[in-house]
Structure 1
């Protein structure tokens, strides 16, 4: 199939489903703002998605929410399920030890998508972050760890895609890659962001993220989230980086052991 500019109406419909899924429910005006389309366009998109059974209006107010049919869009997708499965017990252990929530995120296009987290298992959080929550690749610690472990070819392909179809905020990625040293992040094995802006409570939390590497390739990021006012970034790194790296190493070891087990089963 020839590569070219995507169909904008399809892209906007997908963005609408993602926005509603992430926030739980949205008004038409909120959809218009979040998706970046005029109000009349938002109305047509919503009407189409209602017709297809993917979203519905709430009974008591003019807010729109996803239906169970949305789950059908992921049927048959396995993807990084093994990473999530083997990470779950380890991130829970880390939260039990330090108190702070921990998440596992993977890259999807120019965003990092939360696949699992322990926000629901600790009181040290402002919000619960469910699987599917998205963060801009260049503006989150997990995204920067991901970028740092890309090959030059992968980076070049990502830049090409951003230039072709990226939103204005995505194009900031180019500036980040050219100005900041991804090599330093890769060598130190972590990325940290203070007073993060791209979450449900902008400016209230800070993060430290480390990679899960398998066979030399980035698989996912493990991120610890803490209250920005609780401690300075240097103190948080000193306290928690070692445990984060240990957790990522344990997940990697479990994944490799499972792969080896599968190979032995095939041989036998």
Structure 2
């Protein structure tokens, strides 16, 4: 659609560009048209100029838009008010509107562009009741005032939250510093414990070696004792076998000599004959 609309040779394009420039120069705002629609028409015209490589500065667009709004809504007395932003460094004229910065409205887009009637010298930001200001202007200014108050409340809440977060962060950082110091101490303690454990393992290994050596010596001595006991028993048996029969003891009997075969004569009175 764009190619069809702006197609043609160089002469045709030049004619179209001149026509768009003339429309831009003769751009007007209608009192029955809301600000958003007026701004949209201007933006569409700027877009068409860009297509034809005809650039227009944003500052010029902003000033033209403000002038056309003033022509519609402000028929009489005018005064100049300096705009704070560098993009609108020139003075703009308005009636009943003092000290309002329009630059952010152009940056945010047509949906946020609304005429506000705040007094720059009033701390309470009261809404102007000039008879020349339309009801739409007053309503939009009232809405923006409520939004501004809500934003201020949110800003205060955010500041309190930031202070709370900073305090909590400082506390966490202090605890982290303590933990780092304790970590270095714990590392030293761990090194000492590891060294002590190593020494104890060495001592345990040495004790196990000595225990094994003692166990081997014990087994050797036990074997010697058993051999000695066996030898003693064998010796006792050998000695017992060599004892004569009449000297045996503990067997429950003694050898009785054989009876006399000679005749027995009683002794004489003088006991002779007993030899």
User: TM-score normalized by structure 1?
Assistant: 0.21
Higher relative helix content: 2
User: TM-score normalized by structure 2?
Assistant: 0.21
Higher relative strand content: 1
Pick the structure with greater CA Rg: 2
Q: Higher relative contact order by CA 8 Å / sep ≥ 6: 1 or 2?
A: 1
